[in-house]
């Protein structure tokens, strides 16, 4: 009899400990249940030496949150479930005052509450060694937000977390989570996020982000531990912006206050672009290279670049070797009313160049003015790129175009309008113009008084060419004064020609684009624009 008692003494002691622990856990659950107004229901419960299992387990909080788990198994060494479905229903409030009161109460609770990182240590200590969930699904209203496969392995005080998407949108996340006793913080190490980026209009993309993080009672920091790799083959971010492709590297450093406050967010990020082609409205850009820095600081954001180059920008007129250095700063509340500053803005055009003087614009305080400078723009390149029958010439032109930005008066168009008043053009040196075609010959035959003029411009050598430029409401007006002679007419008598030209620049750029090889999306947008005008 004594031996029988000794044989059952150890199992009885273990059973007693399990009963006490279960009663303590049940008591804790009752307190938690009352505090958060939770209800629990289960089906198919089974209790054995290998643990506790449920065919189905349901936990709900009022009518907004419910959790349903199936094939649940719980033991000291393992927690597993086939499916865990989390259903979140947005509250439907018809009383605006009630909504405001609830929001104020929630904000006050967040301000007064404190996060205890040591709670994570307690959770880690009580978690089983292995956790496996085949499908962790979050539903909002009637839509499925995500479907994840979860695997967690506890190694002493560290959790090795692995998440993988069960949907077509490939995504995996792995990280080691531990509690640092010395500074009471939760540390995230060896993190790697790999995702297909099939969101926000991205059709084909991939992001690989190695990261680490630290969570304390006041701050959550997250940063990349190496360059993240970004590869977007094609993306339609909006009706105006199409990207194909974008290849580069990304660094990230973020800090969020605890409790979270939207006006206390600090994010620093740098995107190093290796290749970037795209379309913006009716313009196409190719082969962009350089670094772009993005800073979110509370309610402000700033985008800067110290050296961004774009091989080609086609707006109907082609700009090549575009070089930019500057910044744009604005508030999140008014992102279109910021301040743009530039130290460098230049491009090659028609074997010459176009540039902006160093300066800045405040888009919240329009009108704003700046100067556009032309240098050694070659006439022969203009005529070669956009030929007209019988027209040729040589010469280099410099100029200054004073540009004013005004608030747009047209609905559904750009936020600003451009006007140019009294822009100046002048030749760098002497040159020539030749203009002879069948239409000009017929004109001279029908108007004998104009024969001398038509003969002169067949081979006109100018000593000076100057002009004025004015632009408003899409109409450009060009006044030219050309001084020179034709050595074969009137014994080379000096001639002073005044020519006035007027052109709708928007229609001209459209016709130049349609006459060139352009992307199909641009052609469709132009055709839609023309249909809207007709």
Q: Where are the domains of the chain?
A: 431-533
pTM over 0.85: no
Per-residue exposure over 434-452, b if at least 16 CB sit within 10 Å of its own CB, e if not: bbbeeebeeebeeeeeeee
Please report how the helices 520-533 and 505-515 are oriented relative to each other, as an axis angle in degrees rounded to 10.
Answer: 140
E strand or H helix that includes residue 528: helix 520-533
Which tokens sit at 138?
Answer: 């979050």
The CA distance from 289 to 323, in Å, is 10
pLDDT at 500: 87
Q: Give me 23's structure tokens.
A: 């009663």
Question: How many angstroms separate the CA atoms of 134 and 162, rounded?
Answer: 12
Between the alpha carbon of residue 274 and those of residues 200, 230, 242, 309, 345, the distances in Å are 22, 10, 17, 11, 20
Using only C-alpha atoms, the chain has a radius of gyration, in whole angstroms, of 36
Our CA angle for 87, 136, 215, nearest 5°, is 95
Q: DSSP letter at 490?
A: G
Q: Residue 34: its pLDDT value, please? A: 64
**Contacts of 325 by beta carbon, 8 Å cutoff, 6+ apart:** 305, 306, 307, 308, 342, 343, 344, 345
Length reported for the chain: 534
Q: What is the pLDDT of residue 316?
A: 81
Looking at residue 2, what is its pLDDT? Answer: 45
- pLDDT for the residue 50: 78
113-116 CB contacts, 8 Å cutoff, 24+ apart: 113/259, 114/217, 115/217, 115/258, 115/259, 116/217
Q: Dihedral sign, CA of 309, 313, 317, 320? A: positive
- The beta-strand segments (E) located in 258-390 are 265-280, 283-297, 300-314, 318-331, 334-349, 352-356, 359-362, 368-378
Residue 344 has, within 13 A of its CA and on its CB side, a CA count of 12
Per-residue pLDDT of the chain (534 residues; tens, 9 = 90+): 444 445 445 555 555 555 555 555 555 555 656 666 777 788 888 887 777 888 998 888 766 788 899 999 988 888 899 999 988 775 554 444 544 454 455 445 545 445 566 666 777 777 888 999 999 888 877 778 788 999 999 988 889 999 998 877 778 999 999 888 888 888 999 999 998 877 667 878 889 999 999 988 888 999 999 889 999 888 887 777 888 889 999 999 999 888 777 777 899 999 999 999 988 877 889 999 999 999 999 889 999 999 999 999 988 888 999 999 999 999 988 988 999 999 999 999 999 999 999 999 999 999 999 999 999 999 999 888 777 777 888 999 999 999 999 988 776 556 788 999 999 999 988 999 888 777 667 766 777 667 777 888 888 899 999 999 999 988 999 998 999 998 888 888 898 988 888 888 777 776 665 555 555 555 555 455 444 555
pLDDT, position 233: 87
Supply φ then ψ for residue 510, to 5 degrees.
-65, -45
Per-residue model confidence (pLDDT) at position 92: 53
């Amino acid at each position: 009899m004594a031996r029988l008692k000794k044989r059952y003494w150890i199992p009885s002691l273990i059973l007693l400990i399990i009963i006490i622990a279960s009663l303590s856990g049940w008591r804790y659950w009752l307190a938690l249940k009352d505090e958060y107004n939770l209800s629990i229901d289960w089906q198919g419960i089974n209790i054995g030496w290998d643990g506790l299992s449920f065919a189905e387990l349901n936990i709900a909080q009022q009518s907004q949150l419910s959790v349903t788990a199936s094939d649940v198994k719980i033991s000291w060494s393992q927690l597993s479930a086939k499916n865990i479905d989390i259903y979140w229903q947005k509250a439907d409030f018809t009383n605006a005052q009630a909504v405001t009161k609830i929001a104020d109460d929630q904000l006050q609770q967040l301000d007064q509450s404190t996060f205890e990182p040591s709670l994570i240590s307690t959770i880690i200590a009580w978690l089983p060694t292995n956790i496996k969930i085949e499908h962790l699904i979050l539903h909002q209203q009637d839509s499925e937000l995500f479907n994840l496969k979860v695997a967690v392995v506890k190694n002493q005080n560290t959790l090795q977390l692995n998440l993988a998407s069960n949907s077509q949108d490939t995504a995996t996340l792995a990280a080691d989570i531990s509690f640092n006793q010395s500074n009471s913080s939760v540390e995230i190490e060896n993190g790697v996020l790999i995702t297909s980026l099939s969101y926000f209009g991205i059709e084909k993309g991939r992001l690989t982000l190695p990261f680490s993080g630290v969570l304390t009672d006041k701050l959550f920091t997250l940063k990349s531990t190496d360059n993240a790799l970004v590869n977007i083959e094609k993306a339609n971010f909006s009706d105006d912006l199409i990207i194909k492709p974008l290849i580069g590297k990304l660094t990230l450093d973020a800090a969020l206050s605890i409790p979270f406050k939207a006006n206390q967010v600090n994010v620093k990020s740098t995107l190093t672009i290796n290749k970037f082609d795209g379309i913006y409205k009716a313009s196409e850009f190719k082969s962009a290279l350089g670094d772009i820095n993005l800073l979110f600081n509370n309610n402000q954001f700033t985008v800067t670049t110290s050296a961004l180059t774009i091989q080609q920008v086609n707006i109907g007129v082609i700009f090549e070797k575009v070089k930019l250095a500057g910044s744009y700063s604005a508030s999140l509340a008014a992102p279109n009313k910021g301040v743009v500053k530039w130290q460098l803005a230049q491009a090659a055009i028609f074997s010459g160049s176009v540039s902006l003087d160093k300066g800045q614009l405040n888009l919240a305080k329009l009108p704003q003015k700046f100067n556009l400078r032309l240098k050694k723009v070659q006439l022969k390149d203009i005529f070669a790129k956009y030929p007209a029958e019988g027209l040729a010439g040589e010469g280099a032109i410099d100029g200054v175009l004073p540009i004013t930005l005004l608030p747009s008066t047209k609905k559904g168009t750009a936020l600003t309008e451009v006007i140019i008043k009294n822009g100046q053009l002048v030749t760098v040196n002497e040159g020539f113009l030749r203009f002879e075609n069948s239409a000009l010959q017929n004109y001279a035959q029908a108007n004998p008084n104009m024969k001398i003029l038509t003969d002169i411009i067949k081979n006109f050598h100018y000593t000076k060419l100057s002009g004025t430029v004015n632009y408003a409401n899409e109409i450009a007006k060009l006044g030219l004064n050309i001084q020179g002679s034709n050595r074969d007419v009137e014994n080379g008598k000096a001639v002073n020609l005044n020519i006035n030209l007027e052109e709708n620049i928007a229609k001209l750029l459209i016709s130049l684009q349609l006459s060139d090889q352009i992307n199909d999306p641009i052609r469709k947008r132009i055709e839609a624009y023309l249909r809207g005008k007709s």
